[in-house]
Amino acid sequence: NTKEWQAAFTVIEQLEEAGFEAVVVGGAVRDAILHRPAHDVDVATNALPQEVKTVFNRTVDIGIQHGTVLVIVPEGPVEVTTYRTDGEYTDHRRPEEVHFVRSLKEDLQRRDFTMNAIAMRKDGSFVDFYGGQRDIKAGVIRAVGEAKVRFAEDALRMLRAVRFSAQLGFSIEAATLQAMQEKAPDIAWVAKERMKAELDKLWIGKDVYNGIKKLEESGLVSYLQGDFQVDHWRGFTAENTTCGWAYFALGQKENWQEVLRTYRLSNKEMAFVKAVLSAFHALQNGWTSMDYFTYSLEELETAHYFAQLKELVTISQHSIREVQARLPIRNRQELVVNGMDLLQWSEQKRGPWLKEALQMILTAVVNGELMNERNHIKDWFKRAYVHKG
């Protein structure tokens, strides 16, 4: 990710050559101080969006109304945002309009937390008006300015504080936490898509348990959909956001599908969660060959991990891959017979029997009771099915 930093520095250099001021801002600066890799290295500048576009040959308008232009330099793409303050807040959501300003200090002031309000110049020096470096060293999340006002402007910031506490293992400064307790009901105003984006990052944080404790301490839990019991999350870690949603689903007292739907999970995410939960429940009696066949390795490993967290005795995680690899077939397409074969062999008309017979054959093959070989299956089918029926 030095590539991203190089791209950002190239952009800064060219803006400076054109007589503008430009710095790296936001998460990348925070993560550099923490020696963590950053995904996006964002640049802020006093150049107006139209001015940014005249400095570079290749640009893409990705959010021009918010002052953001994507600049493409040989090292890669860089988001360049004009210094701005946010306009009037309505509904405790992001403002409709923004105002471009010429001072970096004002731009940094609109940012949520001191650790996110540090700028870095091209020479590596910091612009830090709000004690961001001090707070990062102390592991503290602190609102920029009056916390209550900042949360009233945009309630999502409270959930961001929780997410960062999970991601970084930080504590929340007392006045900031107190303001969250006061403003917690405002979280209901926030769009579910924005909430999901923060929860996605919470689930893959290094200290999810810490995050859920903060959710509880701040009182936010009472205003979010679903059950977030603190104890459920002890020891939980995930590399994959959907694994977090599956574990959240497992902790629901009521209908998990309804709860997850409110967070706008995709169909693919919902399908994964559903499979993991059924694999988890199947594991309580031990997985059959058919379970190993039905669920993907990732679904089985995730369900197994949940069983471990819940201290339910299980098989070794190591054996899952091997048992699955030893299955006679891995998917339905590998079965050497199909419905047409059965119709021919039975000399019967199509009907519900056909699907049943195929399923019986599949189960027998998966269980190793029947070889996946045409003549074997034909004999077996004629004996076990045709003459019975």
> Is residue 154 near ligand ATP by the rule CB under 6 A?
yes
Q: Which residues of the chain form contacts with Mg ion (CB under 5 A)?
A: 27, 40
Q: Which residue's CB is nearer to Mg ion, number 24 or number 52?
A: 24
C-beta of residue 376 within 8 angstroms of C-beta of residue 370: yes
Residue nearest to Mg ion according to CB distances in the complex: 27
Phi, psi of 359 (to 5 degrees): -65, -40
Q: Which two tokens stand for residue 144?
A: 């920029």
Handedness of CA 50, 54, 55, 58 (dihedral sign): positive
Other Cβ atoms closer than 10 A to 18: 15
Q: Which stretch binds ligand ATP (CB under 6 A): 47-55, 108-116, 127-135, 315-323?
A: 108-116
Tell me how far, at minimum, the Cβ of 63 lies from ligand ATP, in Å: 12
Report the nearest approach of Mg ion to the CB of residue 333 (Å). 42
CA distances from 358 to 90, 353, 387, 388 (A): 60, 9, 16, 15
Using the rule CB under 6 A, give the single segment among 59-67, 152-160, 231-239, 261-269 that binds ligand ATP: 152-160
Provide the residue type at 19 as one letter. G
Binding-site residues for CTP: 27, 30, 111, 154, 157, 160, 163
Is 247:268 a contact under the CB 8 Å cutoff? no
Task: Tell me the residue type at 25.
Answer: V
Asked if residues 157 and 110 have their Cβ atoms less than 8 Å apart, the reply is no
Q: What are 111's two structure tokens?
A: 């940012």
CB 134 within 8 A of CB 115: no
Q: Which is nearer to ligand ATP, 12 or 28 (CB)?
A: 28
139 with 168: CB under 8 angstroms? yes
Site for ligand ATP in 334-353 (CB under 6 A): none
- How would you classify the pairing of strands 68-73 and 76-82? antiparallel
Cβ 191 to ligand ATP, closest distance in Å? 12
- Please pick, from the candidates 92, 111, 214, 304, the single residue that binds ligand ATP as defined by CB under 6 A: 111
Size of the site for ligand ATP (CB under 6 A): 10
Q: Is 92 in the site for ligand ATP (CB under 6 A)?
A: no
Kindly tell me which of 104 and 277 has the beta carbon lying closer to ligand ATP: 104
Stretch touching ligand ATP by CB under 6 A, among 47-55, 150-158, 183-191, 285-293: 150-158
Rounded CA-CA distance 208/29 in Å is: 23
CA distance 300 to 246: 12
192-221 positions binding ligand ATP, by CB under 6 A: 201
Of 66 and 378, the one with the shorter C-beta distance to ligand ATP is 66
In this chain, which of 45, 59, 114, 116 binds ligand ATP, going by CB under 6 A?
116
The CA distance from 82 to 229, in Å, is 42
CB of 1 to Mg ion, least distance (A): 12
Q: Which does 213 bind (CB under 5 to 8 A by kind): Mg ion, ligand ATP, none?
A: none
Of 87 and 339, which has the nearer Cβ to ligand ATP? 87
Does 27 sit near ligand ATP (CB under 6 A)? yes
| Nearest distance from C-beta of residue 356 to ligand ATP, angstroms | 51
Q: Which is nearer to ligand ATP, 141 or 177 (CB)?
A: 141
**Ordered DSSP codes for 129-182:** TT-HHHHHHHTEE-BSS-HHHHHHH-THHHHHHHHHHHHH--EE-HHHHHHHHH
Distance between CA atoms of residues 4 and 26, nearest Å: 14
Q: Which residues bind ligand ATP (CB under 6 A)?
A: 26-27, 111-112, 116-117, 154, 156-157, 201
